[in-house]
Amino acid sequence: MGLIKKKGFTIIELLVVLGLLALLAITAFIAVPTQLKKARDARRKSDFQRIKTALYDYYFDNDCFPQELLECGEDFGVDGESYLSNFPCDLDGEPYVYVRTKKGGGKCSQWFRLFTNLENTADPIIDKIHCRQGCGPSKTECDYNYGVASTNTQIYQNCGGAFVCAPGGGTEGSCEPYEDPWLSECPVIYGDDSTCDGQCSDPANRCQNASGKQTPEE
C-alpha cells in the first residue's frame, strides 16, 4: 500500500477562509442589531393592538373611551369586567402616549390616538401611516413615528402640514396642504400625497371648512 500524503492549507486557502469569516462577522455585526430593533418594535406593535382591543372592549361597555391609560403593570378592568391584565408600557418603562377627546366638555372620550417611536426607522409602516415627518398629539408635539387610532379618527399628521381635500373646489375638487386638518374637520388626510389620491371630486372627502389651512403660531 502506498502512503497517503496529507495536504495542508495553502496561504491562499487560509486567506480565503479568513476573508469569509471576516465577512460573516461584519454581516452579523450589522444584521443582529437590526433584528433586535425589529423584535423590540414587534413587541410595541403587539402592545398597541392589545391596548386598542381593550379600549374598544371598554367603549362597548361604557359608550366612551377611558380618560387616561393605566400605570404600567396594572390590571385594566371596571366593576369586575377585565379588559387587559398587566397593562403594557414601552420597553423603557415609560407609558405610551395616549390622546383622547372629551364629549361635551366631560370626561367621556369618543376617540383616541396612541403614539410611540419605532427603533427600525426603515420600517415601511412609518410611510404607510404618513408619519415619516413625525406624528403626534399636536403640531408642536410631532416626535413620534408610529401610532394607532380609533376608527373614527386618524393619526395626527400635522407636522409640516398634510394634504387634504379642501372645501368647495368645484366638480374636480382641490387637494391642498393644511397646517391643521383636524381643526377643519377633514374626513381624510393624505399625508404627503399632493394628489390626495385623486379623491377630491367626492364631496364626502372634503374638509368642513378652511380654518385649519393656516393656523397661528403657538
Cell 403594557 belongs to residue: 88
**Residue 209 sits in the same domain as residue 168:** yes
Cβ atoms of 185 and 152 closer than 8 Å: no
> 176 has which bridge partners?
164
Query: What is the three-class DSSP state of 23?
Result: helix
% pLDDT > 70, the chain: 85
Give the domain range for residue 52. 38-149
pLDDT at 93 over 70: yes
Burial code (b: 16+ CB inside 10 Å, e: under 16) for 165-191 equals bbbebeeebebbbbbbbbbbebebbbb
**Residue 169 sits in the same domain as residue 117:** no
Give the whole-angstrom CA distance, residue 171 versus residue 201.
6
Mean pLDDT, to the nearest integer, of 90-106?
Answer: 78
pLDDT, tens digit, for every residue of 62-90? 999 998 898 999 999 888 789 999 999 99
Query: Domain ends where: 117, 149, 181?
Result: 149
Give the whole-angstrom CA distance, residue 188 versus residue 195.
13
2 — pLDDT class (breaks 50, 70, 90): low
pTM check: above 0.85:
no
Cβ atoms of 41 and 120 closer than 8 Å: yes
**Residue 61 sits in the same domain as residue 113:** yes
Query: Domain ends where: 149, 176, 197?
Result: 149
pLDDT, tens digit, for every residue of 169-213? 788 889 998 877 777 888 888 877 889 989 999 999 999 998 888
pLDDT, tens digit, for every residue of 139-175? 678 889 999 999 887 776 556 667 899 998 788 889 9
The predicted pLDDT at position 218 comes to 40
Domain contains 171: yes
48 — pLDDT class (breaks 50, 70, 90): very high
Domain contains 135: yes
**Residue 73 sits in the same domain as residue 141:** yes
Domain contains 139: yes
Cell 391596548 belongs to residue: 51
Task: Report CA 190 to chain centroid distance, whole Å.
Answer: 15
Residue 74's region, left for phi above 0, alpha for psi from -120 to 50, else beta, is: beta
